[in-house]
Amino acid sequence: MPRPLRQVCVLVPTRDESGNVAALLSRLGPVLTVVNGEVLFVDDSDDDTPSVITAAGRASGGPVRILHRAPGERPGGLGGAVQAGLGTVSAPWTVVMDADLQHPPERIPDLLAAAVGGVDLVVASRYSGNGTAEGLSSRVRRVGSSGATGLARLLFPRILAPVTDPMSGFFAVRTAAIDPAALRPRGFKILLEVLVRTPRLQVAEVPFEFAERHTGKSKASAREMARYLRQLVALRIATADRPGPARSPQTLKVAEYHAPDDTESFVVASGEALRTDAPDQSWAARRPAAAG
């Protein structure tokens, strides 16, 4: 029996996050009801995270799927997990977020409500409006994050000029607007990959408070930094032959969105936000459904 059509897929890449799964699904439950959504975990774990996801998904009673990538079949790291998940999504909108609850699930309706007027991508930003990055656990991580952002801006000034947080791992994207096969992710900076390799996206921003990790350890490491530097080199080479400016700031629509006081307002906005008028040649139309 085919699954009912969902309007939103919440795509969560995981690697050894068993301690966060139940808490994440508990907070996602009411949100999924509001947005008519499902959860897709793309899992690269070597621990018991897959079995925990399966058990917690059954206990939640909600629409939860898992795509587990076996060792040796995990190209691109966590960014590659997002790419693999995007290839299975049939919902018109995909929300990408981490499993560790540093990205508050309650902000998902705000991301989707900001997706109006032709917007393709809504970035949850730590540096827009009243957003904060307090959840970065140490001064070293804060300096590292700032340095990574500065280096990306140095290499892609026109593309990233209007985006306050190109390193964010929390965003909503119109599924048909990007081609997963065109992405070449390395590590977990998948938003940067999307912005640079997908010209002329219309972008909006929603401020959010980056929280502390619920449990477990950050995946940031010297190895991930090396992956990030290789990603920057690959992106720079990919855009070197692009005719003219890769994208001017004027072609991006960046708007700071402030959530309405009452969540039900989202339902009114969602008629345009969750439009399904993608052209017949859209990438989403050619995607196979993942196994439930």
Tell me the domains of the chain and their CATH numbers: 8-259 (3.90.550.10)
- Determine the Cα–Cα distance for residues 218 and 215; give it in Å rounded to an integer: 9
> Cα 117 to chain center, whole Å?
20
C-alpha to C-alpha distances, 8 to 15, 72, 226, 258, 270, nearest whole angstrom:
23, 30, 33, 21, 11
Beta strands per DSSP E along 5-156:
8-14, 37-43, 64-68, 93-96, 121-125
Which residue has better confidence, 208 or 117?
Answer: 208
171: CB partners within 8 A, 6+ apart = 95, 96, 111, 121, 122, 123, 124, 191
Enclosing H/E stretch for 237: helix 222-240
Confidence label for 57 from pLDDT (cuts 50, 70 and 90): very high
- In this prediction, residues 157-161 reach a mean pLDDT of 86
- In this prediction, residues 206-227 reach a mean pLDDT of 75
Length of the chain: 292
What token pair was written down for 195? Answer: 């912005």
pTM for this one? 0.80
